[in-house]
Amino acid sequence: MVGKTIGNFTVLESIVGEKYGKKHSWRCRCNLCGSEDNIISTTNLYKQYSCGCAISSKGSRKIEEILRNNNIDFLQEKRFASCAFGDSG
């Protein structure tokens, strides 16, 4: 398992311990951002898309990349103040 790449993670180290809920976990490098301090259980390793640095939907990710390249803060599901509907009648 160590040295394998699963999804966007490369497994660096096997971690077993009560500290991590007694589940067998792995220290992984996120290949999207390069952070190596991610402790992820075996199950999550196959489910998780990233360490949290990226958004799973491909469309959003593309946009995020473009914005990030331009140093623009990316807000997912940006909410707009709704218009006033109170003046009917």
> Which positions touch Zn ion (CB under 5 A)?
30, 32-33, 50-51, 53
Element (H, E) at 73: none
- Which sign does the torsion angle of CA 73, 9, 13, 23 carry? positive
Do 38 and 51 meet the contact criterion of CB atoms below 8 Å apart? Answer: yes
> To the nearest 5 percent, what fractions of the chain are helix, strand and coil?
25, 25, 55
Question: Least CB distance from residue 42 to Zn ion, whole Å?
Answer: 19
Indicate the residue among 11 and 30 with the shorter CB distance to Zn ion: 30
Indicate the residue among 39 and 53 with the shorter CB distance to Zn ion: 53
Question: Least CB distance from residue 35 to Zn ion, whole Å?
Answer: 5
Question: Least CB distance from residue 9 to Zn ion, whole Å?
Answer: 9
Indicate the residue among 56 and 70 with the shorter CB distance to Zn ion: 56
